[in-house]
Structure 1
Amino acid sequence: MFEGVLPAIITPFKSNSAMDLDIQGLERNIEYLLSCGIHGIVPCGSTGESATLTFKEHEKVVGVTIDTINGKVPVLAGTGSNNTAEAVTLTKAAKDSGADGVLVISPYYNKPNRAGLVKHYTKLADLDIPVVIYNVPGRTGQNLEPDLIAELAQLPGIVGIKEASGNVGQVSRIIELTQDEDFAVISGDDNLTLPIMALGGRGVISVAANVDPKRMVTMCEAAGKGDWKKALALHYALSPLFRSMFIDTNPIPVKKAVELMGMAGGPVRLPLDNLDGKKTADLKKILATIPAAKKLAGAGSAGKKEKPVVKITRR
């Protein structure tokens, strides 16, 4: 169900002190991504600033995403928390809204023991909606080991993992241990998408696909067909973009990038702060090499009314 390119979408805010959700901008962003052939979409993940969304905002973003997608591709809603009860509440809300599945980060800060992790994911797996585990030690401070993932993969409600440990050897071991299960291993790092797919991974939950969805889709589809030469060429063509998305804490760079392209972005919420001038200049240079970015920046918003913040030109 969850494979190919699934952009982890930003949550656009209006540029005012209230920092309200930009619902029309969110809809336009999603429509643009759909037009580029994406295979699924992930609202309210780390890239969507889920940690600073209220419950009401979280439910609104998930609901708007589902309505805008209208069944065209699967919606995998982020519903994780370091509080199991909150994760259950968010997961139930996503299920009631019509999400196809939920992406659940491992509990951050708490550093639960193995038994606690099993109980946490078992409670979520029992809610009758497909659950994709999210392992990102750089944000949670705790790595989910391959043998634990293999154990959790046996739960009927657990259907996959977004693997963002950055350890290709670990990803290989997870695939080895779960290959007999109906279990998808999905890259959580854009720059490791191709090697993970070569090992048997199913695709990527992508930050870069917010900026260059067409080439991300083409790369993953080429890999899925075994056209490794084409996929490798695209991997290297996209690598500068991959690096640029992490010149600062995610989603600071990607939010600035989509704004520069004339799409809905807006500010990031504190405690994150906006990209500084030097990094913005560096990002512009990368965007100037991306056909889709230049086209959108020159034409204005992916929707109708908004003008681009800046016209990107090659330097």
Structure 2
Amino acid sequence: MPPARSRPVTLATVARHAQVHVSTASRALSEAPSGVGPDTVRRVRELAAVLGYRRDVGAAGLRTGNSRLIGVLVPRLTDLVLASIYESIDAAASAAGYGTVVANTLDDPEHRRVRLDALLSRRIDAVIIGDSHSGDSAGLELRDRGVPYVLVMRTLEGHPSVSTDDYHGGRLAAEHLLDLGHHRVGVICGDQLASTGRERTLGFRRTFEAAGYPIPDAYSIDSGFSTPSGAEAGTELMRLAEPPTAIFAVHDLLALGAMGAIRDAGRQVGEDVALIGYNDLDLAATLPVPLTSIRSDLAAMGSQSVDALLRALNGEVPRSVLLPPELVIRATTPRPSA
């Protein structure tokens, strides 16, 4: 005979072990517990975890009229930055009793339109937008429909967002290269319609300009955010009559592509050409020549975007958050030789 299935742990079981009423246990396990002391909330949640209790999200949705789903729009989940942020979003949403539905938009307005319609047809409760561009209307449409939303990683004026202070991050990269004595530098700028590309580039270029070393436009290359884009832009920089002694790439994947271009030009990263990336992905520290990078707290971005949505679902107005960037120095930015 097949082994008997164990019965699922019920809310009443958790309440009995915690020695509280069932309604108290239910409130303690909700995403925004009210009328329950913090010690009780902690005790109930710890017991629920030990006992293996799982909230019946579907049943909760039927009672409240909500789907208990958060939609997440990303350009591509193959982008390691967005994948890391989404992992944090999903964990934070799950802890609050929500599921997530992710949609790849390919950074294309028409594709985004179709994906957003599909999410709204599922009656999602809120949306996190990770692919915003200048001129996007997705946030305005969601606002008109009364669907709470927040931007993550990228920003748009007038819309709530959780991101890194990218202008300051670009400035940190510039100050580091200036301190090392680099004056002829190149920038791989990413997409200038995305705030990440625009603000990082702007902070970098303005810092060099203020120091008396304005960067000529030929040394500032617009691109996508992929490794092949970095290789193409890096090749263009290395083919200049006077190639840069240092390159700032506004994404670690762009820096990875630039590494190949520097190699193909017969130069060595970290010896002949300094290189700085952005986001400090795990791969940055493990490359054959470990990459100097500007660190973004990707996990905090994801979790705080969920926190902002939960506040919005409770009737509060979410406020934008700018997380501080951090310069992480490794082997790709040595002091130039005389």
Identify whether the pair has TM-score above 0.5, normalized to the shorter chain.
no
Answer 1 or 2: higher relative contact order, Cα 8 Å, separation at least 6: 1
User: Please, what TM-score do these two structures have when normalized by structure 1?
Assistant: 0.29
Larger radius of gyration between Structure 1 and Structure 2: 2
